Amino acid sequence: MTGPVAISEQGRGQSHALEIADVSKRFSVAGRRVQALSHIRLAVDDGEFVSIVGASGCGKSTLLRLVLGLDTDYDGDIRVDGHRVERPGLDRSIVFQEHRLLPWLNVEANVAAALRQSGLGAAERGELVRDHLHLVGLDQFAKAYPAQLSGGMAQRVAIARALVTKPRFLLLDEPLGALDALTRLRLQDELQRIVRHEGTTAVLVTHDVDEAVYLGDRIVIMHPHPGRIATILPVTDAVSRDRSDPNFIRLRDEVLSWLGVSRTGIDADAELARRSA
C-alpha cells in the first residue's frame, strides 16, 4: 500500500481531475457475494461532461456513491487531483433522482442548507443562494415550500442546492428520471446551460440514451453482471446538439446497439455478442 505522499506524487504526473483507477466493488446480498463493479477505469478532465449509460443493475449509481465518498469499502482507487477520496466533501455535489428537499424548509433554506459547512458569512451565503435560485429561474419561489412545487421545479431547487457550494464535480444520478417527458427535455437544456455557465465538471448517470448523447462530451457505456465499462464513445463536434441531426441519430443508434438494442429489434443479441467479443 503506497502512502498518501506517494499517491500525490504519482497524481501530479497525471492531470486528471477525477480518476477512477481499477475500481471493483462487491456487495453481500443475502449471504451471496455479488460483483457490482469490476475493474472500472475512467479519467475525467476539468470542465468535461461525462455521461454514463447502462441498463439498471450495471452499477452506475454505485459508482457515483463511491465517487461521493459515501462508501469507501472497495478495491482500487478513486482520486481527485491525485488524492484518494476518503469521505464526502463539498467539492463533490450530487443531484439524486428524487429531489430530497427537506419538506420543513422553504426553497431558500433548502439551498442554504448546503452552505452550513462552507464557512462563509451570512451575507455571502444569502447572495450565493439568491444567485443560484436566479440561475435555475426560481427567484419568485424562494419562500415556497417543497410541497407547493411541481416535480420539475423541485428538481431545479435540488440542482441549485448542488451548485451553490460551487463544487468542482457535479454528480447527477438520473436527475431527470422521475420527470415527465416534456419537463425532462426542457430541463436537459437548462442543465446544459447551467453546467456551462458554472464551468463545473459533470458526471451524469442515466438510462436515457438521448439524454446521454445530448449532454455528454463522452459517453461511457456500461454492461451489467458484473458492472463494467463496455466502451467509451467520444461525442465529436460534428455531432451538433440537435436531436434531429443525422449525426446525433447515428451516435444514438450506436449507443443503443452497444446496449443490445438494435434499430430494427432483430439481431440485437448477435450485435451484442460481436461488440463484446
Partner 1 sequence: MSLITIAGRERLSHTAPIGPPPSPFLGRHLRPLAVPIALLAIWELLAHAGVADPRFLPPLEEVVARGVAEFSRGGLAFNLLASLERDLIGFVCGSVAGIALGLAIGFSRLLERLLGPVLLVHRQIALFAWVPLISMWFGGGEAGKVVFIALAAFQPALINTWQGVSGIPRSYRELAEVLTFGWFDFARIIAIPGALPQIFTGLHSALIYAWTATVGAELLLNIAPGIGGRMNEGQHLFHMDLLLLCILLLGGVGVVFNVIAGSLEHRLLRWRIP
Per-residue cell: 81? 487531483
CB of 216 to partner 1, least distance (A): 23
| Alpha carbons 147 and 103: distance in angstroms, whole number | 7
Cα angle 214, 219, 225 (rounded to 5 degrees) comes to 130
Residue 125 C-alpha cell reads as: 451565503
| 131 lies in the binding site for partner 1 (CB under 8 A) | no
**Window 70 to 89, contacts with partner 1 (CB under 8 A):** 70, 87-89
Determine which residue in the list 15, 72, 117, 150 makes contact with partner 1, applying CB under 8 A. 117
Nearer to partner 1, 44 or 94 (CB): 94
Site for partner 1 contains 43 (CB under 8 A): no
Least distance from partner 1 to the Cβ atom of residue 161, Å: 9
3-state helix, strand, coil in the chain (%, to 5): 40, 25, 35
Q: Which residue, chain included where needed, has cell 458526471? A: 203
Residue 114 or 135: which CB sits closer to partner 1? 114
Compare residues 115 and 256 and give the one whose CB is closer to partner 1: 115
| CA neighbor of 162 nearest in space, from 124, 219, 200 | 200
Contact 119, 198 (CB under 8 A): no
- Rounded to an integer, what distance in angstroms lies between the CA atom of residue 18 and that of residue 165? 18
Measuring CA to CA, which residue among 98, 130, 129 is closest to residue 116? 129
Q: 50 or 114: whose CB is closer to partner 1?
A: 114
| Interaction of residue 27 with partner 1, rule CB under 8 A | no
User: Under rule CB under 8 A, how many of the chain's residues touch partner 1?
Assistant: 23
The nearer residue to partner 1, 113 or 120, going by C-beta atoms, is: 113
CB of 164 to partner 1, least distance (A): 11
Shortest Å, Cβ 146 to partner 1: 8
**Interaction between residue 114 and partner 1 (CB under 8 A):** yes
Footprint of partner 1 on residues 199-228 (CB under 8 A)?
none
User: Would you call 255 helix, strand, or coil by DSSP?
Assistant: helix
Q: Is 102 in the site for partner 1 (CB under 8 A)?
A: yes
Residue 116 binds partner 1, judged by CB under 8 A = yes
Q: 3-state class of 202 per DSSP?
A: strand
Which grid cell is 59? 452499477
| 168-192 exposure pattern, b = at least 16 Cβ within 10 A, e = fewer | bbbbbbbbbbbbeeebbbebbebbe
Q: Does 120 bind partner 1 (CB under 8 A)?
A: no
Site for partner 1 contains 90 (CB under 8 A): yes
Q: Which residues, numbered 133-152, are part of the site for partner 1 (CB under 8 A)?
A: 145, 147-148
Q: For residue 173, what are the contacts with CB-CB under 8 A and spacing of at least 6? A: 61, 64, 94, 95, 96, 97, 205
Minimum gap (Å) between residue 127 Cβ and partner 1: 19
Q: Tell me which residues touch partner 1 (CB under 8 A).
A: 68, 70, 87-90, 93-94, 96, 98, 100, 102-106, 113-114, 116-117, 145, 147-148
